[in-house]
Amino acid sequence: MAWIVRLVKIGANGEEPLADVMKISRPDDLDDIANLGLTVADGKRVLAGLQQEIVAAQTRSQSVRRPDCRNCRGVCHVKDYRNHAVATHLGQVTVRLPRFRCAGCGAIEAGTGWPPHCRSTPELDQLHAHFSALMPYRVAADVLKQVFPVDAGKDPETVRRHTLKIGETLRNECGQAGNGGGGDCGDLGLDVHPQL
């Protein structure tokens, strides 16, 4: 038997097909229990394919937004596009973002609403930090690789760096809360496991 996983966008104008994510072929006999449902590899490919297609649709919507020139408030037109690789918990995706040039003064503007130097999603960083708090970095990286279709950030050093970045962010937020920012951070601790 074969199935096609199809993504359909539902917008203000109704439904419009977006993409066929992947074709899945599985045996229809259940003489072997291993044929039941999707394999782990199939599930990872489906999730990674869905993530890539949804990100592509989101970036198309993002590229429609035109910034005003910071220098002369003139109208900006698309100059070119740049690809940005971003690691997510469902795999690495490529975000194609436009750069703009002002028609009046020629200044170059980046797209609107995109964080600078973004290489991974906060959700992936939090997963790295959570798993690293429970086990050594190398084991955490291996567990992430086995469970999620993570093809970026599976190196133990990357997991360590993301964990320390989350810790630094929490420390800064607690420092601000302690300086009249309001809020109770409580006790914050980070266990560092030695690499064997």
Domain spans of the chain? 2-110, 122-181
Longest dimension (CA), the chain: 71
pLDDT, greater one: 37 or 176 = 37
Which tens digits make up the pLDDT trace of 74-121? 888 888 888 888 888 888 888 888 888 888 888 887 766 677 777 888
- Residue 21, strand partner residues: none
What value does the mean pLDDT of the chain take?
79
pLDDT, greater one: 16 or 123 = 123
Q: Which of 29-38, 116-125, 164-173, 187-196 has the lowest mean pLDDT?
A: 187-196
* C-alpha to C-alpha distance for 46 and 149, rounded to whole angstroms: 9
By three-state DSSP, how is residue 149 classified? coil
* C-alpha to C-alpha distance for 111 and 108, rounded to whole angstroms: 10
